[in-house]
Structure 1
Amino acid sequence: MMEKIILKSQNEEELKEMIERSLTLQEDETYRVKILKYPKKILFVNIKGEYEVEIIKKSELENLENKFSKKEKKQVKENIENNSKDVEEKKIISKPNSSKKNNFKNEIKKSTADATVDKIRGFFKEFIVNTKLDIKIIAIKKENSDKYLVLLDGKDMRYIIGEKGNTLNNFEYLISVLRKFKNIKIMVDSNNYKEKREISLRELARKKGKIVLSTGNAIKLNPMPARERKIIHEEVSFMHGLKTESFGEEPKRYLVIKKFDNKIK
């Protein structure tokens, strides 16, 4: 029986270096690699891939390659035949009525939504396991066609929220740039933190607005995500004689509260 070893690495280059250090091959020997787990990067957490490396005879490897080559050709042929049958079957299927079409579309939408929720849940489960944080998923709610709210709880939520919600904002931003969530928006909340944060932001807007009105000097606020900037914009708009302007690029975009120019154009 040939030697087998299990190696963990972050990428292919690292794996090759580990194999070269770990294996001593005879002239008639080579190795093959079986992927047990693919490497992953979840936000700021790197998860190494897991591989089974087996030493085999070169002749055995050639036999395996020939065997799989024949198997692949057979599979392609079967796929072509099956596709042809599918086309013939579609030709004889009667045209569904409009109600069946609508039901089918609704089922597709529901299936897609459920699949998205499952994908989001899987991501957060993996994140919690790999970060070893005391956090649990309470619920995942679909807010609209492309927006989902993830409700979390647990004694380690303070690490996710951070000071004044800065870590939470960065967490949501990092999720938004992941390729798997490209076409959807994921919001994270815990114990109505965002509702409490909104009240705090409105109080901040009123307080800073009064200072601008009394001194005439503009005030620059700290960088905020779009959702929080919108709350400040809205609250300041209720104060006569004030306006807000946005500057900078995400995720460091910020607001300035200032007085309107009194000049008549």
Structure 2
Amino acid sequence: MREVTAKGRTVESAVESALAQLKTTKNQAEIIVVDKGKKGFLGFGFRAAVVTVKRLNNSVEQAKEFLLDVCEKMGVMADITVEQEGKNITYQITGQKIAILIGKRGQTLNSLQYVTQLVINRESDQYYHVQLNAEGYRERRKEALIQLAERIAQKAARTGKEISLEPMPSEERKIIHAALVSFKEVKTYSTGENRNRHIVIAPYHIK
């Protein structure tokens, strides 16, 4: 919903009603006074004020509404807060049944993150990088990836054989690379295309 026509005893009350229905604020809306109304006298001649309020295009808020709609359709009662640092947008999702949004090894969350990035950049005049975080999943996943990287690196160094990890999104591959940058006995590189792109951890003697 991007436009609402509302009535009130005053213009101000009509505007407040419209903003509440749109779940937005004055600085994110265009307000058109259709009728200023009339106070009347002793209950006679009263006419309600009428306003039309249009929500301005706000890609960040639109993406949030998209996420809330998806959550509702998935049966997840969620609250979403937005953290913005320049062009980096993080949507923090909390609520019940959040495991449904995360999926196995974060696959559902990663897919939803990809779609949300498409939504936010569809009509935006600048490019945003989106991250979805659900109940601290990203922090837990990062720690698990670091532990995995160290364990596999030790195995690769011990056996002298390169080891391929499962396909991961780019941000998770970056965590693996960064975790092993100071591990002198192995090297890491990415291979594969699109969703099959994955990291290989190899001893330095393997070319």
Does the alignment reach a TM-score above 0.5?
yes
Cα 1:173–1:227 change in 2 (3 A) is same
Report the alpha carbon displacement of residue 248 of structure 1 after superposing the two structures with TM.
1.6
Q: Give the greater-gyration-radius structure (CA).
A: 1
Aligned to 2:143: 199
Return the letter of the residue paired with 2:76: D
Q: TM-score, normalised to structure 2's length?
A: 0.65
Cα 1:154–1:217 change in 2 (3 A) is same
Q: Is the 8 A contact 1:135 1:152 kept in 2?
A: no
Q: CA RMSD in A?
A: 2.3
Supply the distance in 2 between the matched residues of 1:124 and 1:262 (Cα, whole angstroms): 45
Return the letter of the residue paired with 2:107: N
Q: Is the 8 A contact 1:243 1:260 kept in 2?
A: yes
Aligned to 1:121: 64
Stretch moving more, 230-239 or 200-209? 230-239
Report the alpha carbon displacement of residue 132 of structure 1 after superposing the two structures with TM.
4.3
Return the letter of the residue paired with 2:60: V
- Per-residue Cα deviation, 1:97-122 (whole angstroms, up to 9, x for no partner): xxxxxxxxxxxxxxx9x923322222
Aligned to 2:106: 165
Counterpart selection for 1:133 from 75, 81, 85 = 75
Report the alpha carbon displacement of residue 137 of structure 1 after superposing the two structures with TM.
2.3
Report the alpha carbon displacement of residue 181 of structure 1 after superposing the two structures with TM.
6.8
Aligned to 1:260: 204
2:58 is paired with a residue whose SS is helix
Q: Is the 8 A contact 2:68 2:80 kept in 1?
A: no
1:251 is paired with a residue whose SS is helix
Supply the distance in 2 between the matched residues of 1:135 and 1:152 (Cα, whole angstroms): 10
Unaligned runs of 5+ in 1: 1-111
Aligned to 1:151: 92
Q: Is the 8 A contact 1:175 1:181 kept in 2?
A: no
Supply the distance in 1 between the matched residues of 2:88 and 2:66 (Cα, whole angstroms): 16
Q: Is the 8 A contact 1:137 1:150 kept in 2?
A: no
**1:224 pairs with 2:168:** yes
Q: TM-score, normalised to structure 1's length?
A: 0.51
Aligned to 2:157: 213
Supply the distance in 2 between the matched residues of 1:244 and 1:127 (Cα, whole angstroms): 37
- Per-residue Cα deviation, 1:213-252 (whole angstroms, up to 9, x for no partner): 0001000000111111011001111211211111122233
Q: Which structure is richer in relative contact order (CA contacts within 8 A, separation 6 or more)?
A: 2
Supply the distance in 2 between the matched residues of 1:241 and 1:180 (Cα, whole angstroms): 44
